[in-house]
Amino acid sequence: MTKRLLITAVLMLSMTFGFAQTKEELEAQKAEKQAVADAAQAEADALQAQIDALPGWRVGAFGTIGGSLSNFNNWYAQGAPNNASGNIGITFNGYANLIQEKFFWRNALTSNLNWVKLDNKDTDLDDDNFNPTTDVFNLSSLYGRNLSEKLAVSALMEYRTTLLDNFNDPGYLDVGVGFTWLPIKDMIVVVHPLNYNFVFADNDTVFESSLGAKIVADYTRQIGAINFKTNLSAFQSYKSGDLSNWTWTNSFSYTLWKMIGVGFDFGLRSNKQEALNYALANFDGMGDVPSFDNVDNDLQTYYTIGLSYKF
C-alpha cells in the first residue's frame, strides 16, 4: 500500500512539473509572438503616418442615431392610459479636406436633428405627429495659403441655420479673412479680425448684420475605434455685444462591432438676438416689453445619446 501511494505521489508531481513547464513554454511563446506583433504594429503606424502626410483629399464621416418608441393601451396607472410616444435623434459629422504642400481647403458639415411625439389617443386636441426639437445645421469652408508649417493666411465661409423649423430664419453667414494656426495634427484655430456676419431673418428689428471678428477652433480625430469632434465657433461684433454669439458642439462615437457603436453629442450656444426674438414671440403683454437691455440670455444646450454608425 505504501509503495502504491509513493508511486501515485511521484506521478502527480511529475504531471504538475510537466504542466508547469508547458505553461512556462507557452508564456515564452506568447511573449515572442507579442513582440513580433508590436513590431509589426509600429511599422504599420509609421507607414500610416507617411500616408497621412501625403498631399491629397481626406474624407470621413460618422454619426449617431438615438430613438425610442412606446405604446400604451388601458394603462390606468398613468394620467393618459392610451398614448403613443416616441423620440428620434440623428447626428451627422462629415469632412472633406484637401491638403497640399502650399495650401489647404477644409470643408465640414455638422447636423443634429431630433423629433419628439406624444399622442394621447383619447383626445383629438393634441398633436399626434413627430415634431422637431433639436435642429442644428452648420456648413463651413476654410481655404488657406501656408506661410509656414504652422501658420497660414486664410479665408472662411460658414453658414448656420435650422433645417426642420424656420429654415434661414434666422440664418447666419460669416465671411472673413485672417490667419489660421495649426498647432498640432487634426487641430485648427482660425482668427479672422476682418469678418462680416450676415444675418437672415424676418424680424429685422432684432436680427442685424454687423462687422466683427471670427474665431473658430476645431479638433477632429480618429483613434482606433474612437471618433470625436469638438468645434467652437464665435463671432464678436464690433458694433455691439448684443450682436455677438458663440456655439460649441461636441461629438463622440465608439465602435463596438463592425460599423456599429455608441455615440454621444452635446452642444452649447449663447445668442442674445435669438433670446430676444423668442421672448418677443411669447410676450403676453404683462410687464416690460422684452429688449436687449432686459432679456434673459440663458445658455442654450442640447445632447443626444444612442447608437452610432461609422460611415
What ranges do the domains of the chain cover?
A: 1-54, 57-310
Residue 67 DSSP SS3? strand
In angstroms, the CA 281 to CA 98 distance is: 44
For the four alpha carbons of 207, 209, 211 and 216, in that order, the dihedral sign comes to positive
Identify which of 249, 252, 99, 243 has the alpha carbon closest to the alpha carbon of residue 180. 99
Chain centroid offset of residue 288 CA: 39
pLDDT category, 140, cuts 50, 70, 90?
very high
State the pLDDT at residue 40: 82
Take residue 91 and report the three cell numbers written for it: 447626428
| Burial of 151: CB neighbours in 10 Å, binned 0-12, 13-18, 19+ | middle
Of 3.40.50, 2.60.40, 2.40.230, 1.10.287, the CATH number of 57-310 is: 2.40.230
**Cα distances (Å, whole numbers) of residue 120 to 25, 80, 93, 133, 285:** 69, 6, 35, 19, 31
What is the pLDDT of the chain when averaged over all its residues? 87
Pairing of strands 151-161, 245-257: unpaired
Cβ atoms of 282 and 35 within 8 Å: the answer is no
Share of the chain above pLDDT 90, in %: 47
**What pLDDT is recorded for position 9?**
58
Task: Provide the pLDDT for residue 16.
Answer: 54
Distance CA 237, CA 287 (A): 30
**What is the amino acid identity at position 263?**
G
What is d(CA 205, CA 211) in angstroms, rounded to the nearest whole number? 17
Question: What three-state secondary structure class fits 241?
Answer: helix
**Integer Cα distance of 300 and 304 in angstroms:** 14
**CA dist., res. 115 & res. 87, Å (int):** 6
User: So what's the pLDDT on residue 238?
Assistant: 98
- Residue 13: pLDDT above 60? no
Residue 273 or 128, more confident = 273
Alpha carbon separation from 251 to 112, 138, 163, 300 (Å, rounded): 10, 14, 19, 17
